[in-house]
Amino acid sequence: MSSGALEFDVVTVGCGIAGLSAAVSAQQAGARVGLLERAPKEERGGNTRYTESFWRMKSRDEVADDLEQQLAANAGGYLDPEIIRDADLPYSEWPQLLKGLGFTDPEVIATLAENAGPTLNWLSGFGVTFDFLANYFITESTSRMAPAGGGLALIEALAAHAESVPDDIQMFYRTTAQALILDAEGAVAGLRAVGADNRGTEFRAPSVVLASGGFQGNPEMLSKYLGPASQYIRPVARGGYYNRGEGIRMALEAGAAPCGDFGSFHAQPVDPRSGRHEPVVLNFPYGILVNNAGRRFTDEAPATVDASYEAITRDIMAQPKGIAYVLCDAGLDDVPNWQKSVRTDEAPMEAGDLDSLAAVLGVDGLMDTVHAYNAACPANGEFKALELDGLATHGLDPAKSNWARPLTRPPFRAWPVIAANCFTFGGVKIDGRARVVNLDGEAIPGLYAAGETAGLYYRTYTGSTSVMRGAVFGRIAGQDAAGLKR
């Protein structure tokens, strides 16, 4: 053992919902915990601090009816049926090949669904109130609950508990984990970290929970996995800048199997002019989206906005310079409470006619695009702002499937939009106990992961599940890790 090493039963990396849930549940199970956080205390909480933290649930005890179906539908690419057929067996009977395969295990999905209610009620025990609260979606396809006060309320409640038991949970701010320490038999023995002035410290423990987020704050990893277009995206909130991928990297270096879509991320459309967190612009179903050349490039309303905005945001990212413009006319005011779908603090660009608006935007070809769109809008049919109304364009490519009305009524308004990175999808594979699995399908002794560090999503984010899965698997990891204490 090196001189000056700090000893704990469990070391948790990250002070978001996953890390705090792990630390507190481990402490409740009798472990002495060291909690590392890169950010200063006043900015602790990672992405959780800045989110409204909606949970895909229909009651305090039950997840939404579509949760498992949606996660299973996005559990991987074109999976080989010859390989995954054994996933119907009990997990203990799975072949090692399957256990180490890069897809989301049914066991993990089932564990999330089974433990969401108990975890929500566990969090309520710290004084957090959950309810069906308003959000920024005008139309919705599923049920959601959220804590009063959002993710910040979760962070403050769990952190307050941690601070009330300083002998059991010791918190180290401005401390970044860098490398795992393994013993001669390949089991976790702790980790190395650096603090202020790049001073190194060893944290010794028989178990480590990696809950340090994804890599949306790391340009090198973004470029490596997402490609050159990554220069046009940014974290959706300040907490994301602290997520630089060390947890994922050190686990992969220790032999962890990858899981989740490394080439993708949870995309949200935001106003690039705004510096506030999550300045989303989600009113495009009632207008059109155009790129720098003034051309439409996607169906703005294929489904309810909560079910379609992510795919549309990816289309925005694929446009020249990764930017587009939402264009609406005065007909937007026919949509009840449309303002809740626009969270930017910057005013729209506005003009009394399309020529003037095109000049303000610096976009050529806008008039031709709008004329073609207007001509393709249906002459008959009832506009139903709060449900899919089937008002679709005819003979237009790409089509618009709902809420297609001509843009003819001044004033004309436009908002610039880019893709923001809420969190990355790629991470490490875990089992139902939140243990990190290696490439041979074996659990790495003493190593756990939760939250964004654990890969779960492919292609499309199953909305309102990120904080929920962080809390569920963080709690499970802490409980399981405490069983390995000295």
Pair 36, 118 in one domain: yes
Pick from 379, 395, 420: which residue ends a domain?
A: 420
> Are 303 and 449 contained in the same domain?
no
Write the CATH number for 51. 3.50.50.60
Question: Quick one: which of 60, 64, 74 has its CA closest to 104?
Answer: 74
Verify that 236 and 120 share a domain, yes or no.
yes
Mean predicted confidence (pLDDT) in 479-486: 87
Are 177 and 106 contained in the same domain?
yes
Question: Are 151 and 49 a contacting pair, CB within 8 Å?
Answer: yes
**pLDDT beyond 90 at 349:** yes
pLDDT of residue 2: 44
- What are the structure tokens assigned to 408, written together? 């003819």
Q: Are residues 313 and 186 in the same domain?
A: no
Q: Are residues 55 and 174 in the same domain?
A: yes
Q: What digits encode the pLDDT tens for the residues 151-197?
A: 999 999 999 999 999 999 999 999 999 999 999 999 999 999 999 89
DSSP H helices, 168-211, are none
Distance of alpha carbon 115 from the chain centroid = 19
- pLDDT at residue 138 greater than cutoff 80: yes
Number of domains in the chain: 2
What is the Cα–Cα distance from 308 to 136, expressed in whole angstroms?
Answer: 14
Tokens at 428, concatenated: 């490490």
Q: Evaluate whether 211 touches 224 at the Cβ level (below 8 Å).
A: no
Residues 150, 289 share a domain: no
Q: What is the pLDDT of residues 38-65, one digit of tens each?
A: 999 999 999 999 999 999 999 999 999 9
Q: Taking residues 420-431, what's their average pLDDT?
A: 97
User: Residue 486: its pLDDT value, please?
Assistant: 63
**Do 285 and 220 belong together in one domain?**
no
Residue 107: give the domain boundaries.
6-264+425-482
pLDDT tens per residue across span 67-79: 999 999 999 988 8
Which tokens hold the place of 43? 């900015």
Tell me whether residue 198 is in a domain. Answer: yes
pTM: 0.94
Q: Tell me the C-alpha distance between 188 and 256, whole Å.
A: 12
Which pLDDT does position 314 carry in this prediction?
95
The per-residue pLDDT of the chain, averaged, comes to: 95
DSSP at 452: G
Average pLDDT over residues 308-320: 95
Residues 346 and 452 in one domain: no
pLDDT confidence of residue 469: 98
User: What phi-psi label fits residue 174: left (phi over 0), alpha (psi between -120 and 50 degrees) or beta?
Assistant: left
User: Are residue 411 and residue 431 in the same domain, yes or no?
Assistant: no
Q: What is the amino acid identity at position 29?
A: A
Domain boundary among 420, 450, 472: 420
Q: Are residues 307 and 212 in the same domain?
A: no
For residues 411-437, give the mean pLDDT: 97
Domain ends where: 389, 420, 451? Answer: 420
Return the CATH number at 294. Answer: 3.90.700.10
* Same domain membership, residue 448 and residue 375: no
**Assigned domain for 303 exists:** yes
Q: What confidence tens digit (pLDDT) does each residue in 211-238 have?
A: 999 999 999 999 999 999 899 999 999 9
Tokens 């979606």: give the residue: 137
pLDDT of residue 21: 98
Q: Has residue 1 been placed in a domain?
A: no
